Amino acid sequence: MLITLAISFSSSVFSELVTPKGVGCDTVSGECFILLTEPFKETTCGGKTQVRFDPSQKGTVALYSTALAAHMAGKKLEVVSTGCFKDTVTPAYLYVTN
């Protein structure tokens, strides 16, 4: 007997242009973050005024470096997210833009 099982899940994918007002890291948890001038509009995450990086994920150092460069240059970031980390937006990827 062949049984087919269908599993469905929902994923919240969004992209939003943000302006960083601060960038930093917590040395206890190893988590880095971006503080935003305006809260995210499209996210279902509770923490809408910042982006947090999961230190166990690949690319976290590169994402942090990109965010720091944007902040130092006074540029905006396009943040694409597929979920939350500790109820805060976490990026799948991001890039610097005007």
Q: Is 34 helix (H, G, I), strand (E, B) or coil?
A: strand
Q: In the structure, what pLDDT confidence band is assigned to residue 3 with cuts at 50, 70 and 90?
A: very low
* Confidence tier at 98 by pLDDT (50, 70, 90): confident
Tokens 């809260």 appear where? 39
Res 8 pLDDT > 90:
no
Half-sphere exposure of 86 (CA within 13 A, CB side): 10
How confident is the model over 28-70, as pLDDT tens digits?
Answer: 999 999 999 999 998 899 999 999 999 999 999 999 999 999 9
For tokens 């997210």, name the residue.
81
What are the backbone angles phi and psi of residue 72, rounded to the nearest 5°? -65, -30
CATH number for 14-97: choose from 3.30.70.20, 1.10.3720.10, 2.40.50.50, 3.30.2270.10.
2.40.50.50
Across 3-7, 12-16, 57-61, least confident range: 3-7
